Structure 1
Amino acid sequence: MMSKKMHWLWFLLMGSMVAVAGGCGQSAQEKEIKIQFNVSGNAQSQQKAAEQEKIIAEQKKRLEELQNSLARVRTSNAPQSRTEVQKIEQQIAAVKNQIQAVPSAAGQTAAVPTGAGAAKAAAPAFTGGSNSGWSMFRQNEKSRAASGTTFVPPLDLLWKYRTGEKVDGSAAIVGGVIYVGSNDNNVYAINAKDGRPIWEKQTGGPVSSSPAVVNGKVFVGSDDTYLYCLNAKTGALIWRGMTGGPVHFSSPAVAGGFVFVGSMDGNVYAFSEANGALAWKRKTDGPIAASPKVQNGLVFIGTLGKTFYALDAASGDPKWTFATQGRIFSTAALGEDKVYFGSDDKNIYAVNLANGELAWKCAAGGWVSSSPCLSGKYLFVGANDMNLYALNSDTGAIRWKTKLKGKILSSPVEFGANVYVGSGDSLFALRAQDGSQKWTYASGGSMDSSPVICDGLLVLGSFDRSVYAFTAVGQ
């Protein structure tokens, strides 16, 4: 096969693309998005081999560190040493499994095949298919997992899994399996316990959309303009539905037998969950990077055309719209009577669910593309002024704000009286009551991905091409 050249398409998501679709000009805060198409051939093979060798070297170094820690703990007389030994032994086993699972530079496959549809004799047993766990992006506004596992910082890195490109989408965790996309065009299924790959499925473009896992199926969008429905057990394609533009960042919501998703062509789409047939599409005033939320028969979603929509889930007809002064990347949080979202006009909005009228707005120090997390009377949201804000969800008053390491594109989660969020190249844990910092971890790249907490794990991706899984110390 002849090798193909690597082609890069650069566009300004918050500038030139929106100017074409929505008549908006550029600003100093524009966000540059990079899309890579059709990377293959000899150059790619050599690059992949080098990446695989690097992964093995990193894992061997991690293994050596863990073995040294194990030796120290075994010589300790501390009361908790037995628990620590068991924990470190579990981490050592996970790292060894990851080393085994990496294909060699010579092209030999490891004990666990990763091609979609390949035989999985050595792969971990699949237990997914139910809707328990964390099945879709921002599915639970409190960001709490289905289990009641205690989860308190500091955290330990249990494992990390290297993909071929940056990971800026969020993961889904169902039945002990992590599902996540990467800008290397692939969707991955990873064993949550030890980080071993179960399968991977290639699409025709980068995958920044976060998967939704419902009824044994994985729904995820790609920049190749398609919404994919995959078999959760094997990764095999069940159906795919075409949109008129890249499905970029927008993550599907599944409800009432339909799959809802936004596209950069400015349409909201509703596909049949069963067969991918198009039920309806609704043209909006601009490209869509936010994800739909569904409640009480309505679909809520914002656009880069500066408008927030409430659509009838059965027909796509607008019930009401709300205009802002900036583009809306933020995915909404739904309360009992209000919907919350941010805009790059530097405001956080609360709008009445019933009629679309403004309840309150709060000025932030920078544009807000982070998606809010609602927990009781607290609303947590990040901004590009590097601050994480905690607001009174009834009034919009600022309870506290804490400056972190970089622009906050990651969406916070609250669990166990702590808030977790990515900022710059780091993951932070803050005390929910006052914003004081309790713990941080630096990765090798920007952490714009949103954390997911489920079954005693915190999982998120990084621009260093890795998916990270953390567990609480002593767990």
Structure 2
Amino acid sequence: MKQFAILILFSAFSFVAVPQKPGADWPVFRGTHNLTGYTASALPRSPALLWSLSTGEGSKSSPVISEGIIYFGNLKGSVYAVSPAGKVIWKKETGSPLEAPPVIHGDNLYIGAGDGVMRAFDKKSGRLIWSYSSDNQIVGSANIWISAKRSGLIFGSYDYYLHCVDLQTGKLIWKLETDNYVNGTPAVMNNRIVFGGCDGMVRIADPLTGRERNKFETGGYIAASPAISGEKAWFGDYDGNLYCLDMINGKMIWEVPAGKGSGAIMAIPAEGRNILVVGNEDKYLYCYKSGSGEPVWKFRTNGRITGSAVITPSGVLFGSMDGNIYILELQDGKKQWSFNAGAPVSSSPAVTEGRFYFLAEDGRLLAFGTK
């Protein structure tokens, strides 16, 4: 049975989610810091593979983009900066597997590793600027919170804590204890941090102090991250249940219970244009009305879907562990296009105007566009 715990009621701040602008950077692996995976960039109608870059090592990460340069890590512990033409600009070794996608802010790239260390690099040269050690592995991307009073890099660790460190120095600002691993990426919007964990809780915290405000208990592991917009948060759990939460009062707005044969939800829901799209380990991509949870369509692949989709004006873009990358129609989920990547795809895409990028699990970076 679901339980709701309200710790502190807090005032609402008006906010309208703004999609990633066409041609803009993709500094966090979901495009924007509220993790909705919604972009105004249109996809090519018939994309072509422009190039692929092999790293020689597997990857479970996702790429990000800043000033046209693509950044990502692999399981060997290498961090790459790659030009739009597919040429390596720099490569740095961390000595520890990198499952977490990087995040870019200003001149710096931040990435967490399996050794529990968060590292900051100069994005242009790859020079290590600082490192901060948690007490267990980091598998989710960090996120950025900026305010007039204080700014921070916020990330979870398997040490049961959500950490906030100074962007410039890596010094600890605060940390918030949970009851199990913090696997995903915290969503950040205005005065809220929203994150889930393997203790079955979604927590809402104050980014300035790290103080917990609300929490919502599902009873199942929350391996992925929430997407947040306005006053709502959407997330799934390891049991295959999908939720929409009111962030003001901590109450559930709607729930789609796991159906027979449903798998775990390891992906972050994509939200935009009043729809919600999320992949499942039962091999389906599901589409719902984001306000009500009413089903709209579903699309079956031949493999588990663990990466997160992106919603664009021209379609829904995602990869599957069947080795294919898909674009579906927004309205009915019919397939527009697919590409066999030759290896499982657990990456979330990075999208800029006229181009998109995926990482395959064999470590290749794939660039698509119009030839």
TM-score normalized by the length of structure 2 = 0.88
Q: 1:437 aligns with which of 323, 329, 335?
A: 335
Using the alignment, how far apart are the partners of 1:267 and 1:176 within structure 2?
A: 34
Structure 1 unaligned runs (5+)?
1-130
Which deviations, in whole Å up to 9, do the C-alpha atoms of 1:254-288 show, x marking residues without a partner?
11220000001111000000101000111101101
Higher helix share: 1
Secondary structure of the corresponding residue to residue 368 of structure 2 = strand
Which deviations, in whole Å up to 9, do the C-alpha atoms of 1:337-383 show, x marking residues without a partner?
11001101211110001121111111342211111000121000000
Mean CA deviation greater in 353-362 or 230-239? 353-362
Letter in 2 for 1:390: C
- Quick check: 1:212 aligned with 2:110? no
Secondary structure of the corresponding residue to residue 406 of structure 1 = coil
The answer for the alignment partner of 1:374 in structure 2 is: 271
Using the alignment, how far apart are the partners of 2:24 and 2:75 within structure 1?
A: 27
Distance apart, 1:169 and its partner CA: 1.2
| Structure with larger Rg | 1
Which deviations, in whole Å up to 9, do the C-alpha atoms of 1:140-185 show, x marking residues without a partner?
355355xx65423321001111113212211111101001111110
Letter in 2 for 1:245: N
Letter in 2 for 1:421: F
8 Å CA contact 1:292–1:300 kept in 2: the answer is: yes
Distance apart, 1:459 and its partner CA: 0.5
Distance apart, 1:204 and its partner CA: 2.5
Which deviations, in whole Å up to 9, do the C-alpha atoms of 1:436-470 show, x marking residues without a partner?
01111112211001111113211111112211111
The answer for the alignment partner of 1:387 in structure 2 is: 284
The answer for the alignment partner of 1:463 in structure 2 is: 361
Using the alignment, how far apart are the partners of 1:465 and 1:142 within structure 2?
A: 25
Label 1:373 to 1:144 Cα distance change in 2 as closer, same or farther (>3 A). Answer: closer
The answer for the alignment partner of 1:325 in structure 2 is: 219
8 Å CA contact 2:235–2:244 kept in 1: the answer is: yes
8 Å CA contact 1:142–1:415 kept in 2: the answer is: no
Using the alignment, how far apart are the partners of 1:169 and 1:252 within structure 2?
A: 13
Label 1:150 to 1:132 Cα distance change in 2 as closer, same or farther (>3 A). Answer: closer
Using the alignment, how far apart are the partners of 1:447 and 1:258 within structure 2?
A: 31
8 Å CA contact 2:44–2:354 kept in 1: the answer is: no
Using the alignment, how far apart are the partners of 2:98 and 2:202 within structure 1?
A: 24
Using the alignment, how far apart are the partners of 2:36 and 2:162 within structure 1?
A: 26
Where do 4+ consecutive residues of structure 1 move more than 4 Å?
A: none
The answer for the alignment partner of 1:255 in structure 2 is: 145
Kindly report which structure 2 residues correspond to 1:113-128, keeping only aligned pairs within 5 A, or say none. Answer: none
8 Å CA contact 1:204–1:223 kept in 2: the answer is: no
The answer for the alignment partner of 2:30 in structure 1 is: 138
Using the alignment, how far apart are the partners of 2:206 and 2:268 within structure 1?
A: 22
Using the alignment, how far apart are the partners of 1:258 and 1:274 within structure 2?
A: 9
Q: 1:159 aligns with which of 42, 48, 51?
A: 51
Q: 2:73 aligns with which of 164, 181, 197?
A: 181
Letter in 2 for 1:386: K
Using the alignment, how far apart are the partners of 1:367 and 1:136 within structure 2?
A: 24
Structure 2 unaligned runs (5+)?
1-22
Kindly report which structure 2 residues correspond to 1:64-463, keeping only aligned pairs within 5 A, or say none. Answer: 132-140=24-32, 141=35, 143-145=37-39, 150-192=42-84, 194-248=85-139, 250-256=140-146, 257-364=151-258, 365-424=262-321, 425-463=323-361
Using the alignment, how far apart are the partners of 2:36 and 2:331 within structure 1?
A: 15
Letter in 2 for 1:266: Y
Using the alignment, how far apart are the partners of 2:334 and 2:46 within structure 1?
A: 14
Which deviations, in whole Å up to 9, do the C-alpha atoms of 1:117-151 show, x marking residues without a partner?
xxxxxxxxxxxxxx951111224355355xx6542
State the structure with bigger RCO (CA 8 A, min sep 6), 1 or 2. Answer: 2
Letter in 2 for 1:200: K
8 Å CA contact 1:230–1:237 kept in 2: the answer is: yes
8 Å CA contact 2:29–2:349 kept in 1: the answer is: no
8 Å CA contact 1:164–1:183 kept in 2: the answer is: no
Letter in 2 for 1:470: F
8 Å CA contact 1:144–1:454 kept in 2: the answer is: no
Letter in 1 for 2:347: S
Label 1:149 to 1:297 Cα distance change in 2 as closer, same or farther (>3 A). Answer: closer
Count of aligned residue pairs for this structure pair: 339
The answer for the alignment partner of 2:5 in structure 1 is: none
Letter in 1 for 2:340: A
Distance apart, 1:303 and its partner CA: 0.3
Kindly report which structure 2 residues correspond to 1:32-51, keeping only aligned pairs within 5 A, or say none. Answer: none
Identity of aligned residues (%): 28
8 Å CA contact 2:245–2:252 kept in 1: the answer is: yes
Letter in 2 for 1:176: G
Label 1:411 to 1:150 Cα distance change in 2 as closer, same or farther (>3 A). Answer: closer
For the aligned residue pairs, the C-alpha RMSD in angstroms reads 1.5
TM-score normalized by the length of structure 1 = 0.69
Mean CA deviation greater in 451-460 or 178-187? 451-460
8 Å CA contact 1:167–1:208 kept in 2: the answer is: yes
Which deviations, in whole Å up to 9, do the C-alpha atoms of 1:236-262 show, x marking residues without a partner?
0000111111111x1010112200000
Using the alignment, how far apart are the partners of 1:240 and 1:142 within structure 2?
A: 29
Higher strand share: 2
Label 1:416 to 1:142 Cα distance change in 2 as closer, same or farther (>3 A). Answer: farther
Letter in 2 for 1:391: Y
Which deviations, in whole Å up to 9, do the C-alpha atoms of 1:291-318 show, x marking residues without a partner?
0111122211100111111111111111
8 Å CA contact 2:179–2:199 kept in 1: the answer is: yes
